[in-house]
Structure 1
Amino acid sequence: MFCLAAAAAMGTAAAALAAPGPASALAELIRDPSLWSARNDTPPATAIESAQPPVLNFNCPFASLPDRRVFWDAPVALDLEAGRSFRFEVASPDPAPIRRLTVYFRSGQGWYGADAYPAADGDWKTIRISTTDLRPEGRPSGLHAIDRIRLAAWRGDAVDTSFQVRNFGLDVRPAPVLILRPDSLAETAEAGAGRAAARRTARILERAGVAASFRSDAALSPADLTGIHLVVLPHNPALPPATLETIADFLRSGGRLLGFYQVP
């Protein structure tokens, strides 16, 4: 409790728009539908004429396509580490045929993905995807090296529909508390439990008024701990030796550690 109170006293950080580079690139993804590659005979993305802010439209011909999903890819350069979350708005005039939407981020030889759901009434809905929401697939290289985004709509009913997106952006939350995301468990039976523990920890800290950022426990460097006062291990029983040594140096220099479950 002392650590949480001390972290809260350091002040919470309001979400801020990402640097102009990434922000401009994300805005261009909405303005220019030609940047999106349609896959599996999926219709191309289109722009909604005269919409302000700009709106991108994706048609989902579930009645005629045999595949269980339609999806679109676009190149992008993003760093989702350091407490960043990806946000956008989504709407669908008829969301019932869409079982779910999945937003994927490619990194190296794998992907990170998170599900989203349009509002049932067809209104615009803001979606925020934090790093703790993302589940790895394959062998991604890290959230700092995102080079492609994919939007996928999964078929629920064999009925044609569409969805629209707007206002892509990144939220940055500089914070004195660092949660180590248990990526070291990625290919183990405990991977799901580790991600769930990280999400619970983040929610608890948020309710306590403590702003926290995230880093992978698979590759932690001393530079990642600059400005950090407290490191939190939500469930990290398989920390690599290099990460353990970095944490040990952090503690020797006066940093604090809060650990749950098994501590290596």
Structure 2
Amino acid sequence: MTKGRRVNEEAVDIDYKSTQAFFDARGLGSYINPLSATMYQDEQPELVEKRDVAEKATLASFPGISCVESVLDMGCGIGRWAKFFADQTQPPVYLGIDFSASLIEKAKKINVKNGKKTHFQVMSVTELEEKKLIVPPPYEFVIISGVLMYLNDNDCLQVLKKAVSLCAKNGRIYLREPLAISVRLTLQDVFSEELNYNYSAIYRTEDELNEIIKKACADDVFYMQPWKKLFSDDLEKRKETRQKYSLLCRSETL
């Protein structure tokens, strides 16, 4: 694979070994704000905090979110959603999985006070083995937040299919992704001065990701809410992408 490429429009793959090395290093790092491990902006802890608060406020606005009984966080990083659910009046059983052992170790330390309903497990979303999950499915709420950008197209489809299959009858899937504003952009091992590391990601357009979601839900009944902007303009720092979110719901009324 050619190093250090920015590829517009063309669908090219990224190297998962490089991606895992990046996240393993992030898990071992030290940050002013611990959330920077997976939210970046290492030198702007205030921005990280504002983004975290904004996204959690969005999730808190979803009808019935405080009443869900089980949560699967696919690609949980340091488990920043664990405390959100542990703080609910009726905390659900929460399971966070991630392919990075160092991130999972950090998640366990950060969330050690969240109680017996909070669980973490080293497992890649692309190699998810249902029978080995320490909290068995189905799940009422599935989180895929900032994960699909690190998956090649076929794996993106397969992970979404798996998420659909793991959902309870009243289940919902929360999707949040940085979407390309105009054309698909792929970074292949591009050195980031901000992160001081080579970085790979795929920024799909809204239409591209919608097509993959449509295929993932082809054998099931899901209703997709239109993509919405997650952050106000002052919290956005990229010219080519915007953070957006959507919900996939088994019930049209949710």
TM-score clears 0.5: no
TM-score scaled by length of structure 2: 0.27
TM normalised by structure 1 equals 0.26
Larger radius of gyration: 1
